[in-house]
Chain A
Amino acid sequence: NAGVTQTPKFQVLKTGQSMTLQCAQDMNHNSMYWYRQDPGMGLRLIYYSASEGTTDKGEVPNGYNVSRLNKREFSLRLESAAPSQTSVYFCASSERRGLVGEQFFGPGTRLTVL
């Protein structure tokens, strides 16, 4: 049982390049999330997927797109990377979007945009 896995662990991009961050969970969870973490800012929600087939914007969605490929996988795409997107990205999942649902986090992807 691997929990939440993310690939890659590290990535360096040049401004304007595109890339996709992959996330998968093996806990049969319905809901999945993408966050970014910046120093002194805590975690901010980029996009979430309440259930397979649905996605919604979070607090900071500009410059990102997502795909809920199936129940297990939720990818985050940067179409044209900018230096402001340098951050650590975390994927998380929960059994359901609910009032008491614990979120389980992956190990993160450290992205640098030059």
Chain B
Amino acid sequence: AQSVTQLGSHVSVSEGALVLLRCNYSSSVPPYLFWYVQYPNQGLQLLLKYTSAATLVKGINGFEAEFKKSETSFHLTKPSAHMSDAAEYFCAVVHYGGSQGNLIFGKGTKLSVKP
């Protein structure tokens, strides 16, 4: 069965600092992976997705993620944090099996940005 693990439920960075949010996946087949962002009191919106076309995926708002099969990781990065990046971030993997095609979400990482 597929799963994702997000390391760190809370991450705090200073404005202008590097953002690194960690996601490790478990999958017996090549995975399809997503990062979603949730701003306070809103629904989720897609940041980026990995569908095996390229290992480095660029998303919206300057975020990118690199798929590393050897490390079973799909970490999200942004070179310079902005106050508007404060939100909760979810990693997700497509599930194979009985409910094939559905997403399985990690527990989320809340990002705080200090001025």
Which residues of chain A are near B101, meaning CB under 8 Å?
Answer: 31, 50, 96-99, 101
Main secondary structure of the interface of B (DSSP, over half): loop
Which of A42, A45, A100, A105 is within 8 Å of B43, CB to CB? A105
The reply to whether the CB of B105 lies closer than 8 angstroms to some CB of chain A is: yes
Q: Does B74 contact A (CB under 8 A)?
A: no
A106 to B36, CA, bound (A): 13
Most A Cβ at <10 Å: residue of B42, B43, B46: B43
Is A2 positioned at the interface, with any CB of B under 8 Å from its CB?
A: no
User: Which residues of chain A are within 8 angstroms of B103 by Cβ–Cβ distance?
Assistant: 45, 103
Q: Are B9 and A40 in contact (CB under 8 A)?
A: yes
Is the C-beta of B102 less than 8 angstroms from some C-beta in chain A?
yes
- Say what secondary structure dominates the interface of chain A: loop
A residues in contact with B94, CB < 8 Å: 99-100
Q: Closest B residue to A96 by CB, please name it.
A: B101
Q: Say whether, besides A43-B90, A99-B94, A100-B32, A56 and B99 are in contact (CB < 8 Å).
A: yes
B102/A100 in contact, CB under 8 A: no
Establish whether residues B44 and A40, one from each chain, have CB atoms under 8 Å apart when the complex forms: no
Q: Which 6 A-B pairs have the closest CB atoms?
A: A97-B101, A105-B43, A42-B107, A42-B105, A43-B105, A105-B44
Give the distance to chain A from B44, nearest Cβ to Cβ, in Å. Answer: 4
Which of A41, A90, A97, A107 is packed against the most chain B CB atoms within 10 Å? A97
Which residues of chain A are within 8 angstroms of B106 by Cβ–Cβ distance? 42
Interface size bracket, A side: 20 to 34
11 sample A-B contacts, Cβ–Cβ < 8 Å, listed by A number: A42-B105, A42-B107, A42-B108, A43-B90, A44-B105, A58-B99, A97-B102, A99-B32, A99-B94, A99-B101, A106-B43
Q: Does A48 contact B (CB under 8 A)?
A: yes
Closest to A102 in B: B46
Interface string of A21-48 (1 = CB under 8 A from B): 0000000000101000000111111001
Cβ distance A24 to chain B, nearest Cβ, rounded Å: 14
Q: By CB atoms of chain B within 10 A, which of A99, A106, A108 has the most? A: A99
Closest-by-CB residue of A relative to B42 is A107
Instruction: Encode contact with A along B69-100: 1 for CB under 8 Å, 0 otherwise.
Output: 00000000000000000000010001000011
